[in-house]
């Protein structure tokens, strides 16, 4: 039986309302775009919010330099087709400027380093609102996140002192130097996002669908061996498997799952039956039980 | 089908987080990795059971102290409904958290510890639920396993609670009582074998059967203009669309409308949702409206049906829940955000403070502290277009912002 999707309309209406509030309440908003399904969904919602006018703010991608090539290719095509403005800032530049130090070893990842590049870019462009695709169901620290989440001059999240949010009312009052992170799809689950992508027939990067890929196994997770980005020991053997990715973060911290799902409807079916949560394939959360909360306090998205 | 939002209320240690964890577990909403994390931590702490509260207490401080600090949102779905539970903690900032959670919910669960019965906190929880006009309230009498699943205990608590119900203001609230054990799983998702005397529904069955028509508050249509859309492209050269969300009731093409505050009359010409035109915009949809006449409309204005005007006033009286450690005092100035509209407001008078245990009111009030609920009147620097909260949940409520800290420091319900 096909599940009734009219509740997705309710989530969509809520998200459009939030995006319009951002455009109205802030002077320099930006949509943080990773090339992942959540930020692609945000772009569609923003199109809907302002139609027939264009989206009145730019997109910004913080590029770790370790993205899946498919994602970058997709990003550039989307921006061109929709005539959007795209800003790209590179983690590599932050490394070259000596602002952050590249991690080394088996679990090296540029995921943490993104924060510095992001905060620098916010300051450079004086962005006062950054729209992001984070969802409360992803992780338990994110479950406490507000829709308008205030960050101080240092980009930090004060989780114990958040503004209450009542009814539909969004308080975007901030001081100069502060900014607000806005999460229009806070109340969506992973399945909701996929159902929406299916319903709207939204195009997404190919790595979300099952494909043959050279991979290796570590700690029970499947890692891409197609590029040199993920550190691999000599004894970690390369094999070929049918896999897909459930998130498209930095390659060095995004593991694949075995899958035969090659179409959106198959993916939706697979997620409905799945017993491992989406972030279960993100090694950055496994560092400790409070990994996400710590990163958020420091200004991570 | 819509999303059903539920707020939970209970005192410290009533087992709220455990109840939510139990719902997630019994509906098989906990994924293997989350379950493994709970098993691991429960074992580390030396428990011989699974501590489901670990599924919801997301902050380090919460896990350390074994308490819930902040409102958490939990998502699960069954084949019938999608649910969002706002888990609202019951201690220090209880009023603030409960009001916040309840403001977006259509139903609520009030937990009572069967060993303690109806306590002062229960009064407060019920009072706030009633004040916010939550349509459906479930009183879950928890920890029945610790009172030998006694029917007498259940009946006593039910009778005590019914006594509270007789004093409430909003009488149309539907209230159900369910004896549960969140820890052991009785009557949460699965029926209990330990309480054959209870013939009613399980908690989940009750929620599954709630009818949409019964749980959503309706009123007359109100359309606050959020954003004016002017594409200025060749194709849409003269397009002037008013983007916003429809509250209360539906709006249709051809409706005779009035724009507030200018009181200009016009007619709805088109209703857009993205690139499609519709005849009717239903309640809670985010649409873009165009008008027949070239009238001046900007953000903060409100489009309503002719002959159905809200109150247009520069002052109002409201029940206020104060949420800040800095006191509200007569004469103090704040920003009042009513929907999307912001105005400057001055506290004119604090009429009286309300005792949420239904024991009465306090008339000599010099200021309001954290968690206080009081009747307050405000004077505004320009008019707002409001309805009474009892007639219109959205257009009858507002938040109070401290212009120095920018924080949301209170919420109000217009009388």
Q: Supply the pLDDT for residue A2.
A: 40
What is the average per-residue pLDDT within B294-309?
95
Q: Supply the pLDDT for residue B74.
A: 84
Q: What is the 3-state secondary structure (H, E, C) of chain A?
A: CCCCCHHHHHHHHHHHHHHHHHHHHCCCEEEECCCCHHHHHHHHHHHHHHCCCCCCCCEEEEECCCCCHHHHHHHHHHHHHHCCCEEEEEHHHHHHCCCCCCCCCCCCCCCCCHHHHHHHHHHHHCCCEEECCCCHHHCCCHHHCCCEEEECCCCCCCCCCCCCCCCCCCCCCCCCCCEEEECCCCCCCHHHHHHHHHHHCCCCCHHHCCEEEEEEEECCEEEECCCCCCCCCCCCCCEEEEEEECCCCCHHHECEEECCCCCHHHHHHHHHHCCCCHHHHEHHHCCCCCHHHHHHHCCCC
What is the average per-residue pLDDT within B310-332?
96
Q: What is the pLDDT of residues A238-268, one digit of tens each?
A: 999 999 998 887 777 788 889 999 999 999 8
Task: For residue B254, name the pLDDT band (cuts at 50, 70, 90).
Answer: very high
What is the average per-residue pLDDT within B172-186?
94
| Residue A296 confidence (pLDDT) above 70 | no
| Residue B346 confidence (pLDDT) above 60 | yes
Q: What is the pLDDT of residues B5-35, one digit of tens each?
A: 999 988 777 888 889 889 988 888 887 777 8
Residue B408: φ, ψ to 5°: -80, 115
What is the average per-residue pLDDT within B391-409?
95
Q: What is the pLDDT of residues B43-78, one digit of tens each?
A: 888 887 777 777 765 555 555 555 555 677 888 888
Mean model confidence pLDDT for chain A: 86
Highest mean pLDDT among A29-33, B229-233, B321-325 belongs to A29-33
End-to-end CA distance of chain A: 37
Task: For residue A1, name the pLDDT band (cuts at 50, 70, 90).
Answer: very low
Q: Assess contact for A259 and A210: CB atoms under 8 A.
A: yes
What is the average per-residue pLDDT within A3-19?
85
What is the average per-residue pLDDT within A222-237?
82
Q: Assess contact for B106 and B213: CB atoms under 8 A.
A: no
Instruction: Please indicate if any CB of chain A lies within 8 Å of the CB of B275.
Output: yes
Domain ranges of chain A: 6-194+289-297, 206-283
Q: Supply the pLDDT for residue A301.
A: 56
Asked if B75 and A165 come within 8 Å (Cβ–Cβ), the reply is no
Q: What percent of chain A has pLDDT over 70?
A: 89
Of A183, A159, A136, whose CA–CA distance to A279 is shortest? A136
Q: What percent of chain B has pLDDT over 90?
A: 63
Q: What percent of chain A has pLDDT over 90?
A: 51
Contact map slice: A 77-136 vs B, CB within 8 A:
136
Which of A235-239, B143-147, B388-392 has the weakest average pLDDT? A235-239
Which of A127-141, A165-179, B87-101, B199-213 has the weakest average pLDDT? B87-101
Model ipTM?
0.91
Instruction: Please indicate if any CB of chain B lies within 8 Å of the CB of A175.
Output: yes
Which residues of A fall within a CB distance of 8 Å from B99?
A: 164, 166
Contact map slice: B 13-42 vs A, CB within 8 A:
31-34, 37, 41
Which residues of A fall within a CB distance of 8 Å from B72?
A: 136, 140, 143-144
Q: Which domains does chain B have, with CATH numbers?
A: 3-215 (3.40.50.300), 222-305 (2.40.30.10), 311-414 (2.40.30.10)
Measure CB to CB from residue B99 to each of A16, A144, A166 and give the nearest one: A166
Q: What is the pLDDT of residues A39-81, one digit of tens each?
A: 999 999 999 999 999 999 999 999 988 888 889 999 999 999 9
Which of A186-200, A214-228, A275-289, B20-34 has the weakest average pLDDT? A275-289
State the pTM of this model: 0.91
Q: Assess contact for B39 and B47: CB atoms under 8 A.
A: no
Q: Supply the pLDDT for residue A3.
A: 43
For A6-194+289-297, CATH gives 3.40.50.620
């Amino acid at each position: 039986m096909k599940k009734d999707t009219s509740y997705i309309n309710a989530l969509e209406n809520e998200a459009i309302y939030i995006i319009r509030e951002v455009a109205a309440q802030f002077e320099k908003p930006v949509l943080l775009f990773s090339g992942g399904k959540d930020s692609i969904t945000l772009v569609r919602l923003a199109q809907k919010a302002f139609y027939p006018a264009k989206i009145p703010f730019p997109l910004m991608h913080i590029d770790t330099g370790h993205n899946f090539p498919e994602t970058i290719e997709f990003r550039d095509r989307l921006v061109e087709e929709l005539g959007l403005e795209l800003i790209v800032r590179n983690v590599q530049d932050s490394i070259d400027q000596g602002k952050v130090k590249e991690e080394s070893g088996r679990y090296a990842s540029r995921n943490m380093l993104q924060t510095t590049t992001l905060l620098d870019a916010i300051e450079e462009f004086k962005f006062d609102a950054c729209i992001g695709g984070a969802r409360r169901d992803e992780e338990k620290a994110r479950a406490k996140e507000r829709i308008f989440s205030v960050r101080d001059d240092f980009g930090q999240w004060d989780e114990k002192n958040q503004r209450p949010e009542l009814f539909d009312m969004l308080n975007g009052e901030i001081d100069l130097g502060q900014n607000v992170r806005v999460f229009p799809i806070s109340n969506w689950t992973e399945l909701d996002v996929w159902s929406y992508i299916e319903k709207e027939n939204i195009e997404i990067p190919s790595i979300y669908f099952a494909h043959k890929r050279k991979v290796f196994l570590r700690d029970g997770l499947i890692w891409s061996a197609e590029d040199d980005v993920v550190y691999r020991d000599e004894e970690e053997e390369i094999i070929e498997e049918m896999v897909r990715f459930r998130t498209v973060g930095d390659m060095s911290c995004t593991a694949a799952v075995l899958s035969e799902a090659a179409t959106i409807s198959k993916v939706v079916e697979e997620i409905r039956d799945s017993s491992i949560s989406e972030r279960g394939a993100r090694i950055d959360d496994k560092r400790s039980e409070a990994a996400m909360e710590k990163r958020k306090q420091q200004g991570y998205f | 089908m819509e999303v059903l939002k539920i707020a939970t209320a209970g005192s410290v240690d009533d087992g709220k987080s455990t109840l939510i964890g139990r719902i997630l577990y019994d509906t098989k909403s906990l994924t293997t990795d989350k379950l493994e994390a709970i098993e691991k931590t429960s074992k580390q702490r030396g428990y011989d059971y699974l501590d489901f509260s670990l599924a919801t207490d997301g902050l380090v401080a919460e896990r350390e102290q074994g308490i819930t600090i902040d409102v958490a949102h939990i998502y699960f779905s069954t084949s019938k409904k999608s649910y969002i539970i706002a888990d609202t903690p019951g201690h220090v900032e209880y009023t603030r958290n409960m009001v916040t959670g309840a403001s977006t919910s259509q139903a609520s669960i009030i937990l009572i510890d069967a060993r303690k019965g109806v306590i002062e906190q229960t009064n407060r929880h019920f009072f706030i639920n009633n004040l916010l006009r939550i349509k459906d309230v479930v009183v879950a009498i928890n920890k029945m396993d610790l009172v030998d699943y006694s029917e007498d205990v259940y009946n006593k608590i039910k009778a005590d609670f019914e006594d509270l119900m007789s004093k409430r203001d909003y009488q149309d609230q539907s209230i159900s009582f369910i004896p549960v054990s969140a820890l052991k799983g009785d009557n949460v998702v699965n029926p209990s074998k330990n309480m054959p005397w209870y013939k009613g529904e399980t908690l989940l069955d009750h929620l599954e059967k709630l009818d949409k028509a019964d749980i959503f508050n309706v009123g007359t249509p109100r359309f606050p203009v959020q954003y004016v859309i002017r594409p200025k492209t060749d194709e849409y050269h003269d397009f002037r669309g008013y983007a916003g969300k429809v509250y209360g009731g539906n709006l249709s093409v051809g409706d005779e409308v009035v724009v507030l505050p200018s009181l200009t009359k016009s007619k709805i010409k088109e209703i857009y949702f993205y690139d499609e035109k519709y005849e009717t915009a239903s309640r809670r949809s985010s649409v873009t409206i165009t008008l027949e006449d070239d009238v001046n409309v900007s953000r903060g204005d409100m489009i309503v049906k002719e002959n159905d005007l809200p109150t247009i006033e520069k002052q109002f009286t409201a029940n206020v829940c104060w949420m800040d450690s800095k006191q509200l005092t007569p004469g103090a100035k704040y920003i009042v955000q009513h929907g999307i509209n912001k105005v400057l407001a001055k506290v004119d008078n604090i009429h009286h403070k309300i005792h949420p245990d239904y024991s009465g009111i306090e008339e000599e009030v010099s200021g309001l502290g954290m968690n206080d609920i009081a009747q307050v009147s405000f004077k505004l620097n320009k008019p707002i277009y409001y309805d009474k909260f009892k007639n219109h949940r959205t257009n009858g409520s507002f938040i109070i912002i401290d212009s120095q800290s920018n924080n949301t420091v209170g919420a109000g319900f217009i009388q």
